[in-house]
Amino acid sequence: MKGGVIIFLISVVCLFASVQCKNRDPLRELLKSHKKRRSEASAVVEDASTEYSPVYMLPQDGLKEEDKITGLPGQPPVTFPQYSGYVTVDPTAGRALFYWLTEADDSSNKPLVLTRVFLDRKWRDDRAWAVPCERRRKDVVSPAGVGFSYSNTTSDYVTGDTKTAADSYTFLVNWLERFPEYKTRDFYITGESYAGHYVPQLAQLILKNNKVTNQSVINLKGIAIGNAYIDYLDEINGSYDYYWSHALISDESHDGIIKYCNFSAPEISDKCEQALDQADDEIGNIFGYDIYAPLCSSNSTAPSLSSFDPCSSDYVFTYLNTPEVQQALHANISGALPGPWDACSNLISWTEEPETVLPVIKELMASGISVWIYSGDTDGVVPVTTTRYSLPKLSNTIKTPWYPWYYQGEVGGYVVGYENVTFVTIRGAGHFVPSYQPERAIAFFSSFLEGKLPPSS
């Protein structure tokens, strides 16, 4: 490998945070850089070590009370408790991950869900506040350097999949000391986009450590990943097939891709590269995270097929960079955050990323935990086609054939129950399903937590 380390594009981090990047598509950038250096990248996740090395643990007494949120600027009155703050995962380097917990009104036996944060325009909308009432959710922002998470050691900002999983695990073990009442609770992990990598990797680490740990056993019951980047070959191939089938690119460029591209080859041929470039140009300037949404910069008065506001990330940026909000959230308490809160950190170099996590997901499926893979069907960044190319590689036994699922008398999407893995689409949703179709998202998410397939009527 040239130069010693693989440095992926700094913007990759964007994929980990809560909202879309402005004017950037980090996953496409990642794939482009990946395509160029394919021959040099590591192939699959190594899971060599079976030995448990105890994770760092800090006394957590009294920290829970300090983390309680007493009021948030602009938030309508809520009855459920909320907590947010930092959990140190490496005291020597000074690395800490930020979390935000919203409890259910009656939370005594509800499951605990680790997920990405989603905030958007509906932040001030009462309906959106009903979400946390239903389930207790815990949001953690990782890796350090994204959102409010940070490190006092600059070299920590060169990171990758393995370090992110390890930090998240250390975070969880310490967080459960801070909130010991959750130790035995059913635990689920969900996430979207690049979480297709880091959710399965964290779940794998939890299951592995559960077998040997003398620290916290985490009661992991399931994972759900949405519009998930799982496999490089399926991602690149499935994306162009989606563009063609959704009338975004010409027959000529699509035919060229089929004829000249061999994505498994170490080098991409010039003719393939040309066909890909042509296709990319043909798409024009659309909002990739939802191919039917308007652009944030648009003055168009044409009715939109999508009710999503593509300027959401601007509102979130403004809100989370308001000093009173940061104070209320106990963020940036030590003034250690190097720059403004941003969904897309420019600080981070992503140096390690396996080409596929299919083997990891297969391992999870065989472990008996619940594995759901969902997809908003108007996303152009990790389109539903990419997921459909991966599914037969995970399971070729269909237990419940394709059927439409319903919410409030409308088709909410479609379901296929494979052996050990459930596939669900959410109709009319973009890249981050809950931001585009909040009601349908809650409906299917409730089914996931109840361990039932979404309703067929």
Ligand X SMILES: *[C@@H]1O[C@H](CO)[C@@H](O)[C@H](O)[C@H]1NC(C)=O
Q: Which residues here bind ligand X, judged by CB under 6 A?
A: 54, 88, 91, 94-96, 152, 214, 237, 257-258, 261-265, 297-299, 321, 326, 332, 334-337, 340-341, 362, 365-366, 368, 389, 395, 419-420
Choice between 209 and 332, CB closer to ligand X: 332
Question: Six-digit token pair at 137?
Answer: 């959710």
At closest approach, how far in Å is the CB of 54 from ligand X?
5
Compute the least distance from the CB of residue 152 to ligand X, in Å. Answer: 4
What DSSP string runs through 88-104?
EEETTTTEEEEEEEE--
> Of 379, 390, 435, 447, which is the active-site residue?
379
Token reading at 324 = 């009173």
- 261 or 426, CB closer to ligand X? 261
Token pair belonging to 92: 């020597």
Rg (CA), the chain: 21
Find the shortest distance in angstroms from Cβ 299 to ligand X: 4
* Paired sense of beta strands 349-352 and 158-160, if any: parallel
Cis previous bond, 73, omega within 30: no
Nearest residue to 39 via CA among 234, 358, 264: 264
CB of 314 to ligand X, least distance (A): 15
CA 22 to chain centre: 17
* Residue 226 backbone zone (phi > 0: left; psi -120 to 50: alpha; other: beta): beta
Minimum CB distance to ligand X smaller for 103 or for 139: 139
Residue matched to tokens 């080409």: 355
DSSP 265: S
Query: What separation, in Å, do the N-terminal and C-terminal C-alpha atoms of the chain show?
Result: 54
Residues 6+ apart with CB under 8 A from 197: 161, 229, 230, 353, 354, 357
> Least separation, in Å, of the C-beta of 116 and ligand X?
19
Q: How many residues does the chain have?
A: 457
**Number of neighbouring beta carbons within 10 Å of residue 457:** 7
What's the min distance (Å) between Cβ of 430 and ligand X?
Answer: 20
Q: Cα–Cα distance between 182 and 292 in angstroms, integer? A: 41
379 is catalytic: yes
Identified catalytic residue from 84, 149, 193, 345: 193
Is 300 in the active site?
A: no
- Beta strands in 158-297, from DSSP E residues, in sequence order: 158-160, 187-192, 220-226
Q: Which of 231, 310, 232, 246 is nearest to 279 (CA)?
A: 246
Task: Point out the catalytic residue in the list 197, 254, 330, 431.
Answer: 431
Of 297 and 400, CB closest to ligand X: 297
Instruction: Write down the least CB distance from residue 202 to ligand X, Å.
Output: 19
**The dihedral of CA 275, 277, 278, 283: what is its sign?**
positive
CA 321 from centroid of its chain's CA atoms? 22
Closest CB 80 distance from ligand X, rounded Å: 26
DSSP state, residue 1: -
Catalytic residue list: 193, 379, 431
